[in-house]
Structure 1
């Protein structure tokens, strides 16, 4: 067991409850204070609404509160000067019939990197299109190289054909000589 005085547990001690007579006395004093304030005209709007809710049952409180606001005595100069806050934005309720469904949704805002990436892809596609049409410097250089290669290949083909023809002629000439030497002809 702990030493006495070190750790005290209050759970087992007696508890004090308020008597119903004391509660009734407090409620009666509050009602008297409200009546006294009503006689002097110092009732706040919150207290009036509470009293109206208790008295009418709550359903007629909206009608009565609007009547009470008109007949209420204004404090200070608030009834003399109408002040409107220019910064206050009042919510305007929109009707469902006025809303248009035909409006296409706006494109989402892209970040700088995404915009640059899309622009880069567009530029690349544009360059490829121009390159295919032969309008870029690199395409012109490629076409010139291609023309040179084609010309070289044609010349090589002509040389090969000429060499082949020369070999055939040489073979014919040799066979003709051998035939002549043999005296067959």
Structure 2
């Protein structure tokens, strides 16, 4: 026994079924299913296998009266109520060509926002180039002031050049 006040009792009373017992259980199940077949009673396992394989009636969703049969248990709810279940739809070849043209691909929120951001930036650049935005007006005003200063500086330089040339020509004579 382990020392201390906490002991682990896991695995103490485990029993394993022997292969002989498993074989006997399988044989009993086969005998029961055979007896049910002979007496006209179908087991639930066989019914579920027939529904899955399709070997049962052609229209498994309806009774002999033509009324739809409700699925027993939770299986009917799962098929109808499961929001994550995707029903695979077969598409015809001639409809595939038309589907690509008519529908736009569904974009995620981030993709839509990115496209919208790009459109807004392009529109702003266009307005900026035309000089219709506040920033463009401020830039144009700054450019006008700079041009005026450069023109004045150029005139000053020309005037100084002329005065120097006149001064040098008068000294040479």
TM-score, structure 1 as length reference = 0.45
TM-score, structure 2 as length reference = 0.47
Higher RCO (CA-CA < 8 Å; seq separation 6+):
1
Structure having the higher Rg:
1
